[in-house]
Structure 1
């Protein structure tokens, strides 16, 4: 009991000392693991996932070529945005990769360091490059804004796992499990409330900007999410989910659109 009391008394100090200020979003984030640690683990886990998946070769596949083309433009836009903010060094270790995986799952994700996967199942919903750009802008924002590290840190704190000192993600089964439950194909939503909803809105916000800077019409986000809403399926109430309700998200996107359009300069394919 004494140790528990000491731990509770030390908790505010641990949280305060482990918070960092995100220069892009302007929000303080709990960061018990470094960007270097998660990037190193991401490389290993990304390669492992691809080795077990049906990766669509960009040779002879227009869809795979599109994913790589859109992803590269988004990455270039993000690099330019960070450059204008004097934050180029924050993306110095990013080695961008964009792969299309043959799967009916309607999903896409980005691991730290720019390791991106798009599932073929989402392409019938995106329907065009601009909507795909919105999706990739959103998912990549989660990575560059440190949302995964934040969620990992919150989970580690909740479980009392090595909340001080270096964490060897690749060698610690508990922390590696947390990594896989935050990033990529094993990720689950609805665990961390309500901060994850803040993360979703941040990803929507900057995802629109990055898509626009890449030369894609950010207004395609509205019909895309309307199509997602029409897909139906069981959805938890908004207060139980980390993701905003469809109508709330669309309303927020409409509010963000005027700002995003200031960045929009169409480019030819």
Structure 2
């Protein structure tokens, strides 16, 4: 019986090997449908507890940018603008996107907003939430973590939400790793370029974020997504490829027209 149990565990661990969109090896143990359910529950909870913006211009702007991006990924995505002055956006498993009004006010144009939303979608496409949950939870606690999302006031619930990437909403910070951040940057840059957005505006966006943080503005995005000195360098290293993708997209008639 012990040998059979060990064999079952071994088979499970071997089957947990996966590959990210950039070719990186990942440990993905939890079923994607469970992680998607966690994302859906977390998003529903946020919508019920946080004010949603009724600003028609903000909503139209965010919806427009997100639609052009998600047309490159497929699937139906829900986009909600939250009335929150922090400079933040996030995406959750289950195809959910949240954008804060503070971020919309900060960006100068559609391309800068696309850089942030594209980055967040990059986390979802790379299954970073599942990877973190798989690494941090044992088989016996996997189901408990799924259920805990509905109870954000508990310690386990906060941990689960933090691993999903929205823990800051509930007072717990569990930043993505540098590997995850760089991967999301790369995927997001290509995604915005394939949609026809100008990838070079991503550099201007991060510079604006840095300036805003020095001015004392609340940068929740920067606190939950650590800013590394090499971020802009990494983007620049990938920029020529991204610009080529944008040129191809434009030649195919992809020209976003989203205005604040």
Which deviations, in whole Å up to 9, do the C-alpha atoms of 1:138-171 show, x marking residues without a partner? 0011011101111122222xxxxx3269625443
Mapping 1:115-154, distance limit 5 Å:
115-154=96-135
Please give the TM-score of this superposition, normalised by the length of structure 1.
Answer: 0.75
Confirm whether residue 42 of structure 1 aligns to residue 39 of structure 2: yes
After the TM superposition, which residues 1-269 of structure 1 pair with which residues of structure 2 at under 5 Å, given as runs? Answer: 16-17=13-14, 19-22=16-19, 24-57=21-54, 61-79=56-74, 94-156=75-137, 162-163=138-139, 167=143, 169-172=145-148, 176-187=157-168, 189=173, 196-233=177-214, 243-245=226-228, 247-264=229-246, 265-266=249-250, 267-269=255-257
Residue pair 1:74, 1:137 contacting (<8 A) in 2 also: yes
Deviations 1:101-154 (A, max 9, x none): 110111100010111100011123322111101111100110111011111222
- Separation in 2, partners of 1:166, 1:122: 34
TM norm structure 2:
0.78
Alpha-carbon deviation of 1:17?
A: 2.4
For the residues of structure 1 that align with 2:139 and 2:116, how far apart are their CA atoms? 33
CA apart distance, 1:23: 5.1
> Alignment length, in residue pairs?
229
The structural deviation recorded for 1:244 is 4.3
Deviation at 1:19, TM superposition (A): 3.4
CA displacement at 1:231 relative to structure 2: 2.2
Question: C-alpha distance in 1, partners of 2:12/2:227?
Answer: 26
The verdict on how the C-alpha distance between 1:189 and 1:260 changes in structure 2, with shifts beyond 3 A counting, is farther
Q: Is the 8 A contact 1:152 1:178 kept in 2?
A: no
Alpha-carbon distance between aligned partners in 2 of 1:242 and 1:70, rounded to the nearest angstrom:
21
- Alignment RMSD, CA only? 2.9
Question: CA distance change for structure 1 residues 105 and 27 in 2, over 3 Å: closer, same or farther?
Answer: same
Is the contact made by 2:68 and 2:256 (CA closer than 8 Å) also made in structure 1?
no
Greater relative contact order structure (CA < 8 Å, 6+ sep): 2
The 1-side partners of 2:225 and 2:98 are apart by 21
Structure 2's unaligned 5+ residue stretches are: 1-5, 217-223
Structure 1: gaps of 5 or more residues: 1-8, 80-93, 157-161, 235-240
Of 100-109 and 45-54, deviating more is: 45-54
